[in-house]
Amino acid sequence: MYHLYTYNSIKRPANVDKIRQKKYNEKKQGGRMEFKKGYILVGIAVLLLSYQPNLMNFLLEKLPLILIAFLRIVVATTALFVIRFTTKKEDKEVHKLTLIKESIILGVILSISTIFFCLGMGEMNRMTRFMSEGMLPIFIIMMASMLFTQERNSMFNLVGSMVVIFAIMGVYLITVNDFELPAAYDHKLVYVFLGAITWAGYLIYYRKQEENLNIKDTFLVVGIFLTLFYLIVMIKGNYLDMVKTVEANMFFMILLLALIVDVGFIFTFYRGVEIIGCNRAGIVLMLCPVLTTVTLAMLANKEVQKIQWIGCGLVILANIIQVSKDLIDEEGTIYY
């Protein structure tokens, strides 16, 4: 005689449900801890980038932008080479030819972006560039990642993104009204916009191809490619002779920028992007211009208008909205 048992009719040990609940809680807690790690890494990247404007502002008064960029990439690539061959190999194995191919593509995209930024930023007012154009690439990355990657976005992410739009508009309008801009500003802004688009494409391409890449090998190849690219530009523009004229204190500043900002940014921001995605990382990166505004107000005695403080507050609000959804959600839902 056959007996039919339903799932509920089977007598189970009393601790089965407790074990399942414990596993669920551990999984949920693990997801939150991983997200916390991602936010911390991107937050460190924000702090590293916040040191850049003041140093660059001083260097650009003494040296051309292309020379600074060349020296930074040479130092950063050398550091990446040392790190690659003196530290433990990454667990993620990738096909070497695929890695080289994808890295070269990333290098080409980044080179194009660099050309646009150099054309657009060369004669812009420093304060305007760091406060308004500094937000533009990050904003485009954030929007493009929502459209062209597989990242899912909750309503909280969308609200945070809209809040950031108003912050950008406020900061941009006040900087345009407060500072005398060169006659060619509008023309140069087009180059900055194109540079922002290509840099967004660079980050999104990395995000989509990250399974075929690892950070140490990828950015070493990208660094080598960029070194060759900058070397050609330096030779064509007759900048090589200027390398000898760089003073020791300026070279030390470039060394700090390369090691702390460039290399540090690679190992914090891109690790964070792999965990929390481009969109979330983009919203956190919006804190960079906020820190720049505060720094310039405190250290450089630059007057900051009310609307700029409002813009900074909106950026902070966007981050609070996003983090509260990702880390305080009772269900522990992950939206990507």
Please give the pLDDT value at position 327. 64
Q: Which of 282, 268, 116, 257 is nearest to 190 (CA)?
A: 116
Structure tokens at 74: 């040479």
Q: At what angle do helices 52-60 and 287-299 cross, to 10 degrees?
A: 60
Check residue 166 and give its pLDDT. Answer: 62
Kindly provide the residue ranges of all beta strands, DSSP E only, lying in the chain, ordered along the sequence: none
- Which amino acid type is present at position 112? I
Query: What is the reported pTM?
Result: 0.68
d(CA 51, CA 56): 9
Query: What is the chain's pLDDT, residue by residue, as a tens digit (336 residues)?
Result: 444 444 444 444 445 445 544 444 544 555 667 778 888 888 888 888 776 766 777 787 788 878 888 888 899 889 888 888 887 766 566 677 777 887 788 878 777 777 776 666 554 444 444 444 455 555 566 566 556 555 555 565 556 556 655 655 555 555 555 444 444 455 666 776 777 777 777 777 777 777 777 778 888 888 888 888 888 888 887 888 888 888 888 888 888 888 888 888 888 888 888 788 776 777 777 777 677 667 666 666 666 666 667 767 777 777 777 777 666 654 444 434
**What separation, in Å, do the N-terminal and C-terminal C-alpha atoms of the chain show?**
51
* Tokens (6 digits) for 199: 């840099």
Measure CA 24 to chain center: 33
For residue 209, the model assigns a pLDDT of 76
